[in-house]
Amino acid sequence: MHKNFAHIPDLTPTDAELLDEIDLDRMPRHIAVIMDGNGRWAKMRGKPRIFGHRAGAESVRSILDTCTRLEISAVTLYAFSTENWKRPKAEVSGLMSMLKRYIRSEMREVDANNIRFQAIGNIQGLAPDVQKEIAWATAQTASNTGTILSVALNYGGRLEIVEACRKAAAGHNGSPGEITEKDIEQNLYTAGLPDVDLLIRTSGELRISNFLLWQIAYAEIYVTPTLFPDFRRAEIFRAIIEYQKRDRRYGGLKS
C-alpha cells in the first residue's frame, strides 16, 4: 500500500484493494475533472439543486485528499463555466456564496497539505467579493510546492484559446505568422502546468463541455455514470486503474 494511505480511518477494504492495483510508477501528472450531476443527484432526493452542489463539496475534498496522497502534480476542477450564467439567478447566487464559504473553510487544510491554489478563467468577470476571496487564497498558498489545485471559474475553453492567441500576437508585435504552439501554451490560463493526462467526467454524459480544449489534446478520457456527489476515493482509484490500461501512443505506433 502507498505509504500516504497507511493508517487513515476512512480507507475501506474496497479502497485498499483498488489501491493495490495501481502502478505507482505510471501515475498521471495532471488530472482534470468535469464535476457533473449535482442537480440530478438533488432532484432524485426531492431537494433543490443547490443541495446537490453542497453535497458535491464533499467529493471535492475526497478528490483533493486522494490526489495529494498519490502525489499527483496538478488537479483541475471545472466548477463554473461561462455558460453557467444562463442558470437561474438563485442557483448562481447560491453557488457563488458556497464558493466563498468553501475557500474560507477549506484553505487552512489546503495550505497545511502544501497545496497551491489558483483559479483559472475570466476571474475579472466574477463579483468583487468572490475575486477578493480568490486573491486571498492564491496569496495564502503561493509558496506551497505540492499539488497545484486549479479551479475553473467563469471558464470557457474557446475563450481561453482566443485570449492566448491575442496575447501571443501582441508579443510578436501583431505578427501572427510568427506565433508558435509554445507561444500559445505560455499564454493559457494553465501556463506552467503539464498537459492533462486523465480527464474524468462524472454522470455519464459523453461530452467535454468547452473544458481545457487545448490541454486535453492527448488526454485519456474516463466517463463514469456516478453522479458527482457520490464520486469519492474508490472512483478516483478506478479512473486511474483504467488510465493505466490505456496504450498512450500520441499518434504514433507502439514500439
Strand-by-strand arrangement of the 198-201 sheet: 116-120, 148-155, 74-81, 30-34, 198-201, 220-223
What are the structural domain ranges in the chain? 31-155+196-245
pLDDT at 70: 97
Say if residues 156 and 210 touch (Cβ distance below 8 Å). yes
Q: Identify the pLDDT of residue 176.
A: 74
What's the DSSP call for residue 196? Answer: P
The DSSP call for residue 83 is: G
The CATH number fitting domain 31-155+196-245, selected from 3.40.50.1000, 3.40.1180.10, 3.40.50.720, 2.60.40.10: 3.40.1180.10
Q: How far apart are CA 78 and CA 34, in angstroms?
A: 5
CA–CA separation, 198 and 216 (whole Å) = 8
> What does the DSSP 8-state code read for residue 194?
P
Each residue's pLDDT, cut to its tens digit, for the chain (255 residues) gives 578 898 888 899 999 999 999 999 999 999 999 999 999 999 999 999 999 999 999 999 999 999 999 999 999 999 999 999 999 999 999 999 999 999 989 999 999 999 999 999 999 999 999 999 999 999 999 999 999 999 999 999 999 999 999 999 988 776 777 899 999 999 999 999 999 999 999 999 999 999 999 999 999 999 999 999 999 999 999 999 999 999 877 777 665
Query: CB of 188 within 8 A of CB of 160?
Result: yes
For 125, residues 6+ apart whose C-beta sits below 8 A from its C-beta are 154
- What residues are labeled active site? 36, 84
pLDDT at 253: 67
Q: Are 91 and 47 in contact (CB under 8 A)?
A: no
**What is the predicted pLDDT for the residue at 199?**
98
Output the pLDDT for position 254: 67
Helices (H), the chain: 13-21, 38-44, 49-69, 89-112, 128-140, 157-171, 181-185, 233-245
Count CB atoms within 10 A of the CB of residue 68.
Answer: 18
Q: What is the three-state SS of 115-159?
A: CEEEEECCHHHCCHHHHHHHHHHHHHCCCCCCCEEEEEEEECHHH
CA 14 to chain centre: 24
